[in-house]
Amino acid sequence: MNLVPARIRASPALVRIFPFALFVVLTALQPWVSETLMYWVYLLKTVVVGAILWALRPLIPEMRWNVSWEALLVGVGVFVLWVKLGDIIRAAGLGSFGEWRVSGRSFNPTARFGAGTTATIFFLFARVAGSALVVPPMEEVFFRSFLYRYIARPDFQSIPIGQFLWTPFLVTSLLFGFEHREWLAGIFCGFAYQGLVCWKKRLGDAITAHAITNALLGYWVIAKGQWQFW
């Protein structure tokens, strides 16, 4: 059975929008379900969106992972920025500037299921896998393949991947930042990933950099107990 309706598969725009939109909708459900069910919703959206991306890969030729020293450098650099920028801002006396004030639950299965339990290990693995393997291609395709080029021209496929354009560069980076709790770090992150796309003239290095950032952040959250990042 095909996971994606034919109407979506027939539209170059929708195949790039649909996985991201579905992920956002399922994410919006998480605060409205029980604390235990929240973890299952995360697993659901990871598995479903991951399967959809896999099914759509022949229709999104730019969604190809590329490993390069530039991707490694950007991925590690963004991780360091993400975990340290808030400390720098607070040390400067600016309080929580750069972060949305949210009262929702953080993703902390240790607090819910206990340290070292099977459930905790399972959901931690699901979270790291989702953030490092599913989120990077999903977000990079939406923001830096579709939205960036669509802002420049509705016939977005006529714009080459990696063409530098000021308005799309700024707008997509701002929107990318604002969808994250750490919005200021997210904006700088958007600059870095889009800059990498413009530098390498392909999307795959940004996907890899994004995956490196998220994998390192997952390690940091678990090792240091910094659950606020999730």
Mean pLDDT, range 88-106, rounded to an integer: 87
- Over residues 219-228, the pLDDT tens digits come to 999 999 999 9
Residue 46 lies in a domain: no
Residue 3 lies in a domain: no
Mean pLDDT, range 104-120, rounded to an integer: 91
The 3-class SS string of 23-87 reads HHHHHHHHHHCCHHHHHHHHHHHHHHHHHHHHHHHHHCCCCCCCCCHHHHHHHHHHHHHHHHHHH
Residue 42 lies in a domain: no
pLDDT band at 3 (very low <50, low <70, confident <90, very high): confident
Percent of all residues in the chain with a pLDDT value above 90, rounded to a whole number = 92
pLDDT band at 108 (very low <50, low <70, confident <90, very high): very high
Domain range enclosing 150: 63-229
Buried b / exposed e along 12-49 (16+ C-beta atoms within 10 A): eebbbbbbbeebeebeeebeeeeeeebbebbbebbebb
pTM: 0.95
Count of the separate structural domains present in the chain: 1
Residue 208 lies in a domain: yes
Residue 207 lies in a domain: yes
Average pLDDT value for the chain? 95
